[in-house]
Amino acid sequence: MNRWRLIGVGLAAYALGLFATAPATLIDARLDQASAGALRLAEARGTLWSGKGQIEIRDANRDSGIAKSIAWRFRPAYLLLGKLRYEVALDNAVQRFPVTVTLSQIEVVDAEINLPAAALGLGVAKLAPLGLTGDLLLHISRLAFARGSVQGNATLQWRGAGSAFTRVSPLGDYELRMEGDGAAVRASLGTLQGPLQLDGKGAWSSGHNPIFQGNARVPPQHQQQLAPLLRMISVDRGDGRFDLQLR
């Protein structure tokens, strides 16, 4: 082996060593940049190779949020493709999902994420005071996050929906389908079951709050109980119909 080849091998080994021992806190800086502060990694321990921490989902003002434990391990083979590939687990789950990091984006594929209903208030401030209850299940088929853009699709289900402002529980089960084309994320809402029927469409683009327009319909036997809640966020059109606009 000639001298230049030896130097090349030595430099490659040195670079790999730096990567293997680089602190996990570097991931937080990359997440912060790609998500414009909506995602952060707190209490990071370990290295870029393998580590643990708390992944935080923050509201529009970046001053409150929800945290979940996260663990990751690196897949070295993807370095040959110029990518950083991780297998990620949330809340000590056995099943992991892949997260791929390049110079331009972070890509998440085939992920199942459980969240409390209060997470809805992080994306839409108007919902935060409602004391929302129930469970959110986010299924990500594929989402690629770059600076100011999102591409891919995901489905969010709200199971056992409720609110601290009404005794009607559950209000129902709902599904929000999301599609990102880079410039914007578009969403459509439908009701799976329940006395409160919700439907509508919305959109979100970088630097702007989400905008959603929808309708709520309440059967006669629940109108007296649910009308005060719905009037907090919508316009009462009478006969159990409400126009909803969130931004």
How many independent structural domains does the chain possess?
2
Q: Are 123 and 183 in the same domain?
A: yes
Q: Are 161 and 177 in the same domain?
A: yes
Residue 16 lies in a domain: no
Final residue before a domain boundary, out of 83, 103, 123: 103
Give the single-character DSSP code of 164: T
Q: Are 98 and 128 in the same domain?
A: no
Looking at residue 101, its pLDDT comes to: 84
Looking at residue 2, its pLDDT comes to: 55
SS3 81: helix
Q: Are 59 and 162 in the same domain?
A: no
Q: Rounded to whole angstroms, what are the CA distances from 67 to 57, 72, 162?
A: 6, 16, 21
How far from each other are the two terminal CA atoms of the chain, in whole angstroms?
64
Residue 11 lies in a domain: no
Q: Are 203 and 229 in the same domain?
A: yes
Q: Are 208 and 97 in the same domain?
A: no
Residue 145 lies in a domain: yes
Residue 66 lies in a domain: yes
CB 72, CB 51: distance < 8 Å: yes
Residue 1 lies in a domain: no
Q: Are 167 and 133 in the same domain?
A: yes
**In the structure encoding, which two tokens stand for residue 172, read together?**
């129902």
Q: Are 172 and 209 in the same domain?
A: yes
Q: Rounded to whole angstroms, what are the CA distances from 24 to 4, 29, 82, 83?
A: 33, 10, 19, 17
pTM as predicted: 0.82
Domain span holding position 219? 107-247
Looking at residue 62, its pLDDT comes to: 67
**In the structure encoding, which two tokens stand for residue 103, read together?**
């110079």
Q: Rounded to whole angstroms, what are the CA distances from 126 to 36, 46, 68, 115, 141?
A: 21, 38, 23, 19, 28
Give CA torsion, residues 67, 69, 75, 80, to 10 deg.
Answer: 10
Looking at residue 206, its pLDDT comes to: 74
Final residue before a domain boundary, out of 86, 103, 120: 103
Q: Which of the residues in the chain have pLDDT under 50?
A: 6-7, 9-15, 17-19, 21
Looking at residue 11, its pLDDT comes to: 46
Q: Are 49 and 136 in the same domain?
A: no
Task: State the DSSP H helix or E strand holding residue 12, giving kind and residue range, or none if neither.
Answer: helix 3-21
d(CA 194, CA 192): 7
Q: Which of 181, 169, 102, 97 lies closest to 140, judged by CA?
A: 97
Final residue before a domain boundary, out of 55, 79, 103: 103
Q: Are 123 and 227 in the same domain?
A: yes
Q: Are 125 and 247 in the same domain?
A: yes
Q: Are 77 and 152 in the same domain?
A: no
CB 19, CB 49: distance < 8 Å: yes
